[in-house]
C-alpha cells in the first residue's frame, strides 16, 4: 500500500460523511412535511401529480395497505419492463437493430431491475436497445430506488409512532422521493458526467477507422443519464458489459470518485435521517462510527492483498508487485479497492474492476459485506437490515442482562422477534440452498469457467449477490442460461420482498404500541458498548451461517495459493 492510496481512501470516505449528514437532515424534513427552500418549486408539481393519479394526500395507510400498494406497483412495473424486453426488437429507438430477449433472460432482467438488484446476465451494448435502456432500465433505477427509501421511512414511522396504525401514504412518499431527492440529484450528476466525457446521445453506434487502418464499431447511447441514477440509487446496472470499468461510463479518476460518492450518499444519509426521527443524534453517531470503521477495514484489507499481489507469480516467475489483473490503470489499486468495498457495502453492484481477478481474501471482503448486508447497505433496504439486527441485538442483550427488551421506547415481544428472525433467515436460505443445487447439477456446474475452489466461489458469489440485491458478479460464471436466469431471478425476488413484508408487519406491530419513557432499567442502544454487541451479533450470525461455504471457497483458495498449489 502507498501513503497516497491510504490517504485517498480515507479522504473519499470522509467526503461521504461530510455530504451525507446534511442530506440526511433534508430527507427528514421532506418526510416530516417541514417546509424547505425548494417548496415553491416542488409543491405545485406534486399537487398536480396527486390529482392525475387520484391520490388524496391527507389519507394515511396502515402497514397492510402500504405494503400492498408497494407490491402491486412493483408487480406492474416488472410486467411492463418484461414486455419491453420481449418486444424491443420491433419497438422504436433501436438504431443498432438489437433483437428481443428470450423469456428466461427477460424474466431475470425484469426481476433484477424491479428489485434494485440490477444483476445483468446480458451485455448492455449488444443486448439492449436505447428504448430498453431508457424506458425500462433507467426508469426502474429511479422507481426501485424510491421504493427502498419509502420502505425504510415507513418502518421508521412505525418505530416512532405512539399507539397509531399509520405508516404514511405510499404514493405521496414515492412521489416525494422522485421530485425532491432522486430527480434533482440525478439531473445535476448527469450534467456533470457529460461535462467530464460520459456520452449522452440517441445516435447509433459509431463506425471509425483506427490508426492502423482497421474498421471498428463503437457502441454509445444515453449513458450519462443512466450512469447518474445507477449510482445514486445503488442500482449498479451498467450501460456497457464492463460497467464502470468502461471508459464511456467512467472515463477518469474524477468520475470514479464521483461514482463512489454517489453510491454511498443516500444510504449513508439515511442513518442521519433515522437519528432525527428518533430524536437521538448520538444513536446516529454510534452507527456512523461502527459502519464507517467496518467499511474502511474492508477497503484496506482489499487494498493490502491487491498491493501484495500473487505470491505464486513471484515464486514461479520472479515477478513482484501489485495485482493489476482485471484493473484499469487510470484508477489504480487504491481506488479499485475502495470501489470494491463500497459497491458491496452499499449493495450497488457497479464495478470498476473485475472481482473475478481479485486475490482470494480480497474476494472474501465483498462476499462478507453482501452476506452481512448491514454495512450501510443499499438505498433504504440497508437501513431496514440495520434496524432488523438492532431489534435482534436488543432481544439478546436483554436476555443476557435480565432486562425487558426495549428499543426506541417500544417493548420488543415475541411477535417482533419472530418477524425479525424470519426476515434475517431468508437471506442465508436463498444463498446456500440454491448454491448447493447449482453445485450438484450439471446445469449449474456446466457454467463454471474456472476449476477448483475458485469455481465454487463464483457460484457462491452469484447467489450472494442476488440475495443481497447487489448485482455484481465474479464474471467467470456463464449466468446467461435458462437454469441460472430462472434460479437467480427467483432468489432475487424472494430475497427482496419476503424480508420487506416481514419488516412491514413488524413496523405495524410497533406502531400500535405506546412509547415508554426511558428509565434506569432501559437498555440504551446509543452506546459504543451496545454498538460492539451489535457488530458481534452480525459477525457471529454471519460466521455461523456462511463460514463453511467460505472455508471451501475464498479461504481455501487463499491457503492453496500461499502453499504454492496450482488449481486443477
For 507-543, how does the pLDDT look when each residue is reduced to its tens digit (9 = 90+)? 999 999 998 887 766 788 899 999 999 999 999 998 8
Q: How confident is the model at residue 567 (pLDDT cuts 50, 70, 90)?
A: low
Mean pLDDT of 467-477: 91
In the predicted structure, residue 315 carries a pLDDT above the cut 80:
no
Contact by Cβ (8 Å): 5, 332: yes
Minimum mean pLDDT range among 19-33, 38-52, 135-149, 308-322: 308-322
Minimum mean pLDDT range among 16-25, 164-173, 190-199, 469-478: 469-478
Q: How confident is the model at residue 566 (pLDDT cuts 50, 70, 90)?
A: low
Q: How confident is the model at residue 369 (pLDDT cuts 50, 70, 90)?
A: very high
Mean pLDDT of 19-33: 95
Q: Where are the alpha helices (DSSP H) in 134-232?
A: 139-160, 170-177, 183-195, 223-232
> How far, in Å, CA of 363 to CA of 354, rounded?
10
Our count of domains for the chain comes to 1
Torsion of CA 466, 471, 472, 475, to 10 degrees: 70
Which range of residues forms the domain containing residue 184? 3-208+215-279
Contact by Cβ (8 Å): 339, 256: yes
Whether 51 is in a domain gets the answer yes
Contact by Cβ (8 Å): 149, 270: yes
Task: Specify the pLDDT at position 41.
Answer: 87
Q: How confident is the model at residue 68 (pLDDT cuts 50, 70, 90)?
A: very high
Contact residues for 111 (Cβ-Cβ < 8 A; gap 6+): 78, 117, 489, 490, 492, 493
In the predicted structure, residue 568 carries a pLDDT above the cut 60:
no
Helical axes 139-160 vs 253-277, angle rounded to 10° = 30
Q: What is the mean pLDDT of the chain?
A: 93
Nearest to 222 by CA among 203, 237, 241: 203
> How far, in Å, CA of 325 to CA of 366, rounded?
17
Whether 500 is in a domain gets the answer no
> How far, in Å, CA of 47 to CA of 33, rounded?
14
Contact by Cβ (8 Å): 123, 97: no
The answer for 35, left when phi > 0, alpha when psi is -120 to 50, beta otherwise, is: beta
> How far, in Å, CA of 83 to CA of 1, rounded?
49
Whether 405 is in a domain gets the answer no
Whether 333 is in a domain gets the answer no
Whether 492 is in a domain gets the answer no
Whether 562 is in a domain gets the answer no
Taking the model in full, what pTM does it have? Answer: 0.94
Whether 263 is in a domain gets the answer yes
Q: How confident is the model at residue 98 (pLDDT cuts 50, 70, 90)?
A: very high
Q: Where are the alpha helices (DSSP H) in 468-527?
A: 482-511
Half-sphere exposure of 427 (CA within 13 A, CB side): 28
Whether 240 is in a domain gets the answer yes
Amino acid at each position: 500500500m502507498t501513503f497516497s492510496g491510504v490517504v485517498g481512501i480515507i479522504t473519499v470516505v470522509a467526503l461521504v460523511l461530510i455530504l451525507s449528514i446534511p442530506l440526511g437532515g433534508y430527507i427528514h424534513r421532506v418526510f416530516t412535511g417541514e417546509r424547505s427552500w425548494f417548496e415553491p418549486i416542488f409543491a405545485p408539481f406534486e399537487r398536480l401529480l396527486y390529482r392525475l393519479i387520484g391520490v388524496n394526500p391527507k389519507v394515511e395507510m396502515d402497514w397492510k395497505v402500504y405494503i400492498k400498494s408497494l407490491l402491486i406497483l412493483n408487480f406492474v412495473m416488472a410486467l411492463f419492463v418484461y414486455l419491453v424486453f420481449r418486444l424491443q426488437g420491433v419497438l422504436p429507438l433501436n438504431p443498432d437493430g438489437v433483437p428481443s430477449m428470450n423469456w428466461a433472460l427477460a424474466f431475470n432482467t425484469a426481476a433484477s431491475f424491479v428489485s434494485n438488484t440490477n444483476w445483468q446476465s446480458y451485455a448492455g451494448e449488444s443486448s439492449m436497445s436505447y428504448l430498453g435502456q431508457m424506458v425500462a432500465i433507467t426508469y426502474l433505477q429511479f422507481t426501485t430506488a424510491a421504493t427502498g427509501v419509502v420502505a425504510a421511512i415507513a418502518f421508521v414511522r412505525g418505530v416512532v409512532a405512539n399507539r397509531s396504525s399509520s405508516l404514511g401514504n405510499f404514493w405521496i412518499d414515492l412521489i416525494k422521493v422522485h421530485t425532491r431527492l432522486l430527480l434533482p440529484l440525478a439531473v445535476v450528476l448527469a450534467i456533470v458526467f457529460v461535462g467530464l466525457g460520459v456520452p449522452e446521445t440517441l445516435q447509433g453506434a459509431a463506425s471509425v477507422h483506427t490508426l492502423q487502418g482497421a474498421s471498428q464499431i463503437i457502441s454509445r447511447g444515453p449513458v450519462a443519464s443512466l450512469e447518474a441514477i445507477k449510482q445514486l440509487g445503488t442500482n449498479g446496472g451498467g450501460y456497457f458489459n464492463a460497467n464502470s470499468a468502461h471508459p464511456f461510463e467512467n472515463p477518469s479518476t474524477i468520475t470514479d470518485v464521483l461514482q463512489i460518492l454517489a453510491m454511498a450518499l443516500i444510504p449513508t444519509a439515511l442513518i442521519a435521517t433515522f437519528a432525527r426521527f428518533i430524536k437521538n443524534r448520538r444513536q446516529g453517531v454510534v452507527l456512523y462510527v461502527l459502519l464507517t470503521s467496518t467499511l474502511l477495514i474492508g477497503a484496506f484489507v482489499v487494498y493490502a492483498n491487491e498491493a501484495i499481489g500473487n505470491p505464486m507469480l513471484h515464486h514461479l516467475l520472479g515477478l513482484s508487485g501489485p495485482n493489476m489483473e482485471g484493473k484499469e490503470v487510470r484508477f489504480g489499486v487504491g481506488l479499485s479497492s475502495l470501489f470494491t468495498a463500497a459497491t458491496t457495502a452499499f449493495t450497488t453492484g457497479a464495478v470498476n474492476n473485475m472481482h473475478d481477478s481479485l486475490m482470494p481474501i480480497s474476494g472474501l471482503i465483498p462476499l462478507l459485506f453482501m452476506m452481512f448486508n448491514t454495512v450501510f447497505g443499499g438505498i433504504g433496504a440497508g437501513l431496514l437490515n440495520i434496524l432488523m439486527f438492532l431489534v435482534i441485538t436488543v432481544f439478546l442483550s436483554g436476555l443476557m442482562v435480565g432486562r425487558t427488551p426495549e428499543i426506541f421506547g417500544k417493548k420488543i415481544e415475541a411477535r417482533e422477534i419472530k418477524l425479525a428472525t424470519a426476515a434475517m433467515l431468508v437471506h442465508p436460505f436463498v444463498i446456500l440452498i440454491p448454491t448447493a443445487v447449482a453445485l450438484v447439477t450439471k446445469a449449474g456446474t456446466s457454467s463454471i469457467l474456472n476449476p477448483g475452489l475458485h469455481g465454487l466461489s463464483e457460484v457462491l458469489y452469484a447467489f450472494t449477490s442476488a440475495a443481497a440485491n447487489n448485482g455484481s458478479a465474479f464474471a467467470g460464471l456463464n449466468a446467461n442460461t435458462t437454469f441460472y436466469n430462472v434460479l437467480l431471478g427467483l432468489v432475487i425476488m424472494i430475497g427482496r420482498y419476503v424480508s420487506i413484508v416481514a419488516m412491514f408487519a413488524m413496523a405495524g406491530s410497533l406502531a400500535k404500541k405506546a412509547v415508554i419513557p426511558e428509565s434506569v432499567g432501559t437498555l440504551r442502544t446509543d452506546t459504543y458498548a451496545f454498538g460492539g454487541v451489535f457488530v458481534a451479533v452480525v459477525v457471529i450470525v454471519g460466521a455461523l451461517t456462511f463460514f463453511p461455504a467460505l472455508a471451501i471457497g475464498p479461504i481455501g483458495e487463499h491457503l492453496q495459493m500461499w502453499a504454492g498449489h496450482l488449481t486443477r
